Structure 1
Amino acid sequence: MPPIDGTEQDAGTESRACAQGGVTTALNYMRTGQYYLNRGGDYADVFPEVLSATEGKSYVDYAYHLAPMMRRHIEEIPALVRDHGVTSFKVFMFYGSHGLHGRSTDQNSFLMIPEGERYDYAHFEFVMRGIQAAREQFPDLADEISLSLHCETAEIMDAALRMAQAFPHIRFRREVTVGHLLADIDTASGIGGKVNPPLRPREDVEALWEHVLAGEVDWVVSDHACCRDEQKFGDPREDVFVAKSGFGGAEYLLAGLITEGTRRGLPLGEIAKLTAWNPATRFGLRTKGAIEAGFDADFALVDADTEWTVRAADSESTQEYTPFEGFAMTAAVTDTFVRGHRVLDTGKVVGDPIGRYQKRPTGA
């Protein structure tokens, strides 16, 4: 099958950036609509093409989060779980009346959903009902079937976190991105740092670290959203409202977390949980997340006593800039192994792509 948009190329280049960051398995977000596949339709038609386009291109193992964008996608959830091993799904919280992307004034055209449907709070509730129905249909997988909420709408996220305390039987989990732990509005100021949710002042960054140190964050992610210069910036270039949200960061995940975490007293064992064991357990990667018999030989070697400066030019990503430009790091990933295969050797990506699609749950 022909590649879909830039998916095939991204599988190669951005998985190389993952290897730089010590990432051995990438869980990639995917949806229909503009800026992703640039097409609509059923996942029964689209997702096999995605799998075909990316097969044999990735340097690390990979799986997908899918977003149910329309009514038909919700109906497809059981088939995606059963036939394709997709056990994690995602909803955004800003497409309805809370601010479309700046380059789109028409929701249905932007999201490529049928006329008469809306991506709004009612759709959000129907997605939640669809996820719960799948958990009941596949009880052995219930703890590994999940719905992620992308937290643009602060009121809903605040309510969800409060619900986590009031309803302990609901398995709420909390994640934070390495970008929000590293950068603030001063160190990564400018349109290149536009992201959802937005970067915040330094006091908010330190508040996030307090929650990490208190064990109130379950995993740290890269939220790697590679935006080439021509995709990131609009016309005029200085107009923040026409700039695309998101930036890459997988290549700085482990180095950044160790640099800033150890400085604040975060043990390396906790970093391993935050980046490996916890997400692997939650997302059905049963052969990932630990170094022991029966698990894949996935691990990264880190020099925790070296100083270097972030430069976008040194990244394997096709993104030509980074909001982390000039950041001082005190740890560096030197080697990355995926199922025993060395994919990063003394800081350089090596060999052919050996990444495999992870049909979840993986292994026993």
Structure 2
Amino acid sequence: MQISEAQPSQLNAILLKFSGDAVEIEKLQRLCLANHCLIQQLDQQWLGQFSLFQLAALQQNWSQYFGQPNAQLTQIWHAKQILWTGPGFKFDLTVDPIVYAIINCTPDSFYDGQPSQALGQIMTKIEADLANGAVVIEVGGKSTRPGYQEITPDEEWQRIAPVIAAVQQEWPSAVLAVDTNNADVMQRAVASGVPILNDIDGFDNAAKLEVVANHRPAVVTMYNGRHYQNDVFETLDQFYQETLASLEAAGLTRQQIALDPGVGFSHAKNTASLDLFKLNSIQPTMKYRAPIMAGISRKSFMESKFDYPMAERLTSTLLLEQLMVEQGARILRVHDVLATHKMINLFKGYQQADLLMAVRS
């Protein structure tokens, strides 16, 4: 059977064309029926529109009906895969979003900062997060909320170094990340074996890029609207192009670079409205074929736009994260690990469910 893609640019609405003899078409119809897909005949070809989840099922189950894999279908599937790789890890995010847990080692973070957080308290939180489904543990030693106070690199490192060492000793297979916008802290982190760096300033200077070039970590590069005079509509796509170019010039592959639209980071008076635009920017951003982070956990726009105080933002966080996952976001940076893990399982279950309405005659 011959298979080709009619619209290669689409991710969540993948249009495929099939051509084959009567026996092959009958097998294809049974395969599609079993996996809740619809195909229709148009002239001498058959057309089907598939979600990523349906395409995954089609590719995985093809051999059961045809005796062997289809090379063209496999090639299409590989072109759609969303991979995130770094030193010691490789995540296939195509149909498996991951929970990326936030561990604040700070006294002034907007959500869970405390004047004094003992190492034991932090380790208890990390243990619970790993048990509840966290795939990445990110530690941060400096708050970046609006109006945050700058601290020295030494102070920032002193806050997170004991946590990094303790996690590496207690859970050596855990994937660690460090949230910092300082090149010196980045250098110390990767030298300590941390495989992921997350920079709210998008690796915006030569010192940071030198660390990247020397160590080749995985990265999260964020659009920080506080640095732009023009609005997000003009500069978000420009940022993605520039940050990808600079990071790839430093030696990273596209699969090592995760993009973050930077919800909550803006100098504009209409920050909340711009944040909603960023929430809806995920699907167009998929054209860059890089993993995308959803970092909206309990952000303040939920209060300024919808009047939700901090204690009441979990439901709105989960709803908006689910909408971003539908668009293509696959890395969920969160405070509430268990609730997010359950949301992901529910979303995947819905996508894979035996829905009668998905099977049409």
Q: TM-score, normalised by structure 2?
A: 0.39
Higher relative contact order (CA closer than 8 Å, sequence separation 6+): 1
Task: Please identify the structure whose Cα radius of gyration is greater.
Answer: 2
Q: Which is richer in helix?
A: 2
Q: TM-score, normalised by structure 1?
A: 0.39
Q: Which is richer in strand?
A: 2
